[in-house]
C-alpha cells in the first residue's frame, strides 16, 4: 500500500512529489492530499483521496481514456463530499489523472495500474491426495508473474504451514491423510514484475479435508477428544462464543463422541465374562436413568452404561457423579463425590470413567 503525500507549488502546472521517507523537492512542505489506488484484479480501479486542507470541498477527478480527458462517472462519496472514484480497468495500462478544486489542479499523476494490483481470491480449490502428499489446484488468473500461496494445518496445529507456487498447482508433502486438515489459498504478486506496492488477495474460504474427502463440520468431531471439535477452527478467545452458537444437538455430539462397541474392540472379552454378564441382566430401565441424568448440568465425567452383549449399542450420557436425591437434599447428606449407583447395581471405575452399572 502506498500513500503518496504531496506538496504543490503554484502555478498548479508545476508540482513536486514527496514520499513519506524521502523529500525530493518541496515548495510547500505541508501535505494537502493523500491518494490511494487499488486495482481490483484488472477489473476495477479505485482511487481515493483524503484532502486535509480542502476538507469539506468537492474535488473533481479527471483521467485520460483513449487519449481523451474524461471526468469521473462513479464518485465515492464520504460525508456528502467526493472522496474517491471508481474506474473500469480495461487492461494493463497507465492511468493519468488529476484532482482539482474548481479551477485549480491540486494533483496530477501517471501510474501503471499494475503497481497497485490486488488479485482476486482463489475459488473452487481441488484436492488430489496421493499417500502422504496432497496437490491443491485452482484456476490460474489470466495474468502472469503471480505467487499462489496455500496454507494448511491440522486441527491440532496452532500455526498455518505455507507452500507457494508460480501456478495454482501446489503439492504439499508429509501430511497424514487420516487427519483432518484445513486449507486456504491466496494470490500475491512477484515484486520484480509489479513493484512493492501491490496487495495480496483475500484468503479463500477455508476447506476441510480428511481421507481425501471434504469434511465440513464433521471435521470437528474427531475421536481424539471432545474439545477438539470446538478448538478446530476457533481461537481460544472465541471458545465461549463457539459453544453458545452451536445448536444443542451439535454441542451434545461435540462433547459426547460415540463410543465404539467394546465387543469389537476386545474380541473374546464378553465370552470370557459370560457369568458376569448374566448377573447384570436384571437392570433398571435405561430410559428412566437417562431421563434423570439429562436434567443434570453436564460435567466432565462420563457415565457409561453397558448393555447386555446382544442388546443395543452402549448409550453415553453425561451427568454429575450422581445427583442427590430429594431426600439427600433435604437432609443435607448429598455426597458429590461418591457415586451412589441406582438400585441393584454396582460402580466400576475405569481409568477416570465411572461406569454406573444398572
Partner 1 sequence: ILPDALLFVLSVFFRKIFILQLVGLVLTYNFTDCDFEKIRKKYQEVIYQALNKYMNGVKTTEFNNYIYCEDPPDCLAKIDLITFYPTHGCTTLAKEIFAIRTNATLTLQCPGYSGTQINNTQAKKKRKKRQVTTNKCREQVSHLMELWRRFSRISKQ
Q: Which is nearer to partner 1, 106 or 228 (CB)?
A: 106
Residue 179: CB minimum distance to partner 1, A: 36
69 is a contact residue toward partner 1 (CB under 8 A)? yes
Q: Which is nearer to partner 1, 115 or 321 (CB)?
A: 115
Residue 115: CB minimum distance to partner 1, A: 6
Residue 143: CB minimum distance to partner 1, A: 7
List the end-to-end C-alpha distance of the chain, in Å, as a whole number.
Answer: 68
Position among 41, 93, 147, 255 found at the interface with partner 1 (CB under 8 A): 93
Residue 230: CB minimum distance to partner 1, A: 46
Window 44-63: contact mask with partner 1 (x via CB under 8 A)? ------------------x-
**Burial letters for 142-177: b for 16+ Cβ neighbours within 10 Å, e otherwise?**
ebeebbbbbbbbbbeeeeeeeeebeebebebeebeb
Strand order in the sheet with 146-154: 161-165, 146-154, 181-189, 207-210, 213-214
Position among 66, 67, 79, 312 found at the interface with partner 1 (CB under 8 A): 67
145 is a contact residue toward partner 1 (CB under 8 A)? yes
Q: Which is nearer to partner 1, 22 or 281 (CB)?
A: 22
Q: Which is nearer to partner 1, 13 or 80 (CB)?
A: 13
Count of positions on this chain that bind partner 1 (CB under 8 A)? 41
CB proximity list for 279: less than 8 A, separation 6 or greater: none
177 is a contact residue toward partner 1 (CB under 8 A)? no
Q: Is 202 in contact with 186 (CB distance < 8 Å)?
A: yes
Window 187-206: contact mask with partner 1 (x via CB under 8 A)? ---x-xxxxxx---------
Element holding 4 (H helix, E strand): strand 4-8
Region of 79 on the Ramachandran plot (φ > 0 left; ψ -120 to 50 alpha; else beta): left
Instruction: Tell me how many degrees the CA angle 130-131-135 measures, rounded to the nearest 5.
Output: 35
What is the Cα 97 distance to its own chain's centre? 39
115 is a contact residue toward partner 1 (CB under 8 A)? yes
The three cell numbers of residue 110 are 501517471
CB proximity list for 30: less than 8 A, separation 6 or greater: 7, 53
Q: Which is nearer to partner 1, 148 or 181 (CB)?
A: 148
Q: Which is nearer to partner 1, 103 or 343 (CB)?
A: 103
Amino acid at each position: 500500500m502506498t500513500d503518496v503525500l504531496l506538496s504543490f507549488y503554484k502555478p498548479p502546472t508545476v508540482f513536486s512529489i514527496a514520499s513519506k521517507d524521502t523529500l525530493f523537492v518541496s515548495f510547500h512542505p505541508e501535505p494537502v492530499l493523500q491518494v490511494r489506488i487499488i486495482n481490483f484484479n484488472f477489473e476495477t480501479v479505485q482511487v481515493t483521496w483524503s484532502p486535509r486542507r480542502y476538507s469539506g470541498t468537492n474535488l473533481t477527478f479527471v483521467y485520460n481514456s483513449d487519449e481523451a480527458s474524461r471526468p469521473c462517472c462513479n464518485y465515492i462519496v464520504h460525508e456528502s463530499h467526493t472522496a474517491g472514484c471508481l474506474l473500469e480497468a480495461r487492461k494493463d495500462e497507465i492511468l493519468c489523472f488529476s484532482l482539482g478544486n474548481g479551477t485549480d489542479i491540486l494533483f496530477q499523476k501517471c501510474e501503471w495500474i499494475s503497481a497497485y494490483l490486488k488479485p482476486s481470491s482463489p475459488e473452487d480449490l481441488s484436492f488430489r491426495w496421493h499417500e502422504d502428499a496432497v496437490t491443491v489446484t485452482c484456476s490460474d488468473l489470466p495474468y502472469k508473474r503471480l505467487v499462489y500461496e496455500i496454507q494448511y494445518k491440522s486441527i491440532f496445529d496452532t500455526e498455518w504451514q505455507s507452500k507457494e507456487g508460480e501456478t495454482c498447482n501446489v503439492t504439499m508433502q508429509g501430511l497424514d491423510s487420516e487427519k483432518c486438515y484445513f486449507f486456504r489459498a491466496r494470490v500475491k504478486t512477484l515484486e520484480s514484475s509489479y513493484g512493492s506496492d501491490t496487495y495480496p488477495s483475500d484468503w479463500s474460504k477455508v476447506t476441510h479435508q480428511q481421507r481425501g474427502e471434504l469434511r465440513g463440520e464433521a471435521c470437528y468431531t474427531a475421536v481424539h477428544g471432545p474439545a477438539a471439535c470446538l478448538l478446530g477452527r476457533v481461537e481460544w478467545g472465541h471458545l465461549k462464543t463457539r459453544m453458545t452458537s452451536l445448536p444443542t444437538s451439535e454441542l451434545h455430539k461435540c462433547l459426547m463422541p460415540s463410543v465404539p462397541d467394546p465387543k469389537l474392540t476386545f474380541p473374546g472379552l464378553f465370552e470370557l465374562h459370560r457369568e458376569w454378564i448374566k448377573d447384570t441382566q436384571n437392570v433398571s430401565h435405561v430410559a428412566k436413568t437417562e431421563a434423570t441424568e439429562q436434567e443434570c448440568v453436564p460435567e466432565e465425567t462420563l457415565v457409561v452404561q453397558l448393555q447386555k452383549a446382544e442388546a443395543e449399542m452402549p448409550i453415553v450420557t453425561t451427568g454429575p457423579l450422581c445427583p442427590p436425591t430429594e431426600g439427600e437434599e433435604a437432609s443435607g447428606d448429598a455426597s458429590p463425590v461418591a457415586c451412589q449407583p441406582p438400585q441393584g447395581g454396582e460402580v466400576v471405575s475405569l481409568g477416570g470413567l465411572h461406569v454406573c452399572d444398572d
